[in-house]
A and B are shown apart, each in its own frame.
Chain A
Amino acid sequence: MRDTDRMITDLVRDLRPVPRHALRDRFLLGLLPALAVSLLLMLAILGLRSDMPEALMLPVFWIKSAYNALIALVALWATYHLARPDGAEGGFFKMGAAIVLAMAIAAAVQLVTSPPEAYGELILGSSALHCPFLIFAFALPVFAGISWVLRKGAPANLRLTGFISGIAAGAAGAWVYSWFCTENGMPFVLTWYSVGILLVGALGALAGPRLLRW
């Protein structure tokens, strides 16, 4: 009993004002530098794709970029809410499914309008085997950044928060990687990018309960 009295006194003495947007600011502080590190690593190790000027004119390049960016934003939004003890994922799975579905439609359209000889190129490309692992690698700085934020947060569902924050980091890593990757197949992106993103999600789900405990 007396211990608690003393503790309350200590806590009161330690009280400092908290800015209104403290949590949001902390997310920005953890995320933006991590994303910059990931981009710099990509530029230093891989470099932009060799046909960049032409690629910027291709719709598929921007669809690929948007697919990753949208998943990253939706997952990040959910993570931001899950960082509060009374927060929920707020429709993350529905929105994520809608984005994947839109991508599946784009992939189907591309396949239907292409000759069968092109299927190998569109689905497997030339980098199917290492694409998911490079995405995983470029996601790691972002994963570290988000975890740093969440460890100061108060998520109540650690596994779910770990999973969705992993998806956010994975999609951010995939977005970074998409500036290097020369694949133009939508089925390729739908398959191998998603595998890379899910790998980071799995890492988050596995590590979450230990990593994010408070």
Chain B
Amino acid sequence: MTIAHSEDVLKALMLLSLDGDEAAYRRLLTTLRVLLVGYYTRRMGAATKADMEDLVQETLLSLHSRRATYDRDRPFTAWFFSIARYKLIDHHRSRGGRRLAETELGEELESGFSEEALTARLDVERLLDGLTPRQQELIRQVKLEGQSIADTADRVGQSESAVKVSIHRALKALGERMRGGS
């Protein structure tokens, strides 16, 4: 169930992608998208969901259009999160730069992108794969991103109790998967 070296896995996918392997590229982009949501969520407290999705898309687009700047002899995650960081700073700057200092300070504290955190996140994503898309989204928002039940219910257009029930069922399914699967 664990991925021992996520840097290795992502780098291998990137190298295959650079050689034109479409399946590897799709896997890479899908995995990175999830990592980006986590990355930006931790750094943009007050951001709207649309802003976040814009940033994720911009970053993936940049990975695509700038992929020639990746040096195959160097770590992939360092390269990729440098792009994510640039896009985040650029985003704040175009908003008037108010939160720029805050962003850079936050980066300082969290510098040294943690491989364990990445691995853990990949494990979680792999687990979530077994759920329905709606369940995945709820788990992500409430349990991973820490948003409130009320906000989430608003966003997905369900009542709070329906959201709670869905999450409860999803967690139960996850528990069964973990007992059965590992």
Residues of chain A in range 81-121 having any CB-CB distance to chain B below 8 Å: 83-86
- Chain A interface residue bracket vs B: 20 to 34
Q: Which residues of B contact A83 (CB under 8 A)?
A: 69
Q: Which residues of B contact A84 (CB under 8 A)?
A: 69-71, 79
Tell yes or no: B53 within 8 A of A by CB. Answer: yes
Q: How many residue pairs between the two chains, A and B, have CB atoms under 8 Å in the bound complex?
A: 75
CB-contact partner of B29 in A11, A16, A26, A153, under 8 A: A11
CB-contact partner of A11 in B20, B25, B56, under 8 A: B25
CB-contact partner of B18 in A4, A17, A152, A156, under 8 A: A17
Known: A4-B57, A213-B90. 4 other contacts (CB 8 A): A3-B57, A7-B60, A12-B26, A15-B22
Question: B interface vs A, CB < 8 Å?
Answer: 17-20, 22, 25-26, 29-30, 33, 53, 56-57, 60-62, 64, 66-72, 74, 78-79, 82-83, 85-86, 90, 137
Question: A interface vs B, CB < 8 Å?
Answer: 1, 3-4, 7-8, 11-18, 20, 22-23, 26, 83-86, 152-154, 156, 213-214
CB-contact partner of A16 in B20, B53, B60, B74, under 8 A: B20
CB-contact partner of A154 in B26, B78, B86, under 8 A: B86
Q: Is the CB of B67 within 8 A of A18?
A: yes
7 contacts between A and B (CB under 8 A): A4-B57, A8-B33, A15-B22, A84-B69, A84-B71, A154-B62, A156-B86
Given contacts A1-B53, A3-B53, contact A86 B64 (CB under 8 A): no
Q: Which residues of A contact B29 (CB under 8 A)?
A: 8, 11-12
Q: Which residue of A lies closest to B63 (CB)?
A: A11
In the complex, what's the smallest C-beta–C-beta distance from B88 to chain A, in angstroms? Answer: 11
Q: Is the CB of A153 within 8 A of B18?
A: no
- Given the complex of chains A and B, what is the CA–CA distance between A156 and B67 in angstroms? 14
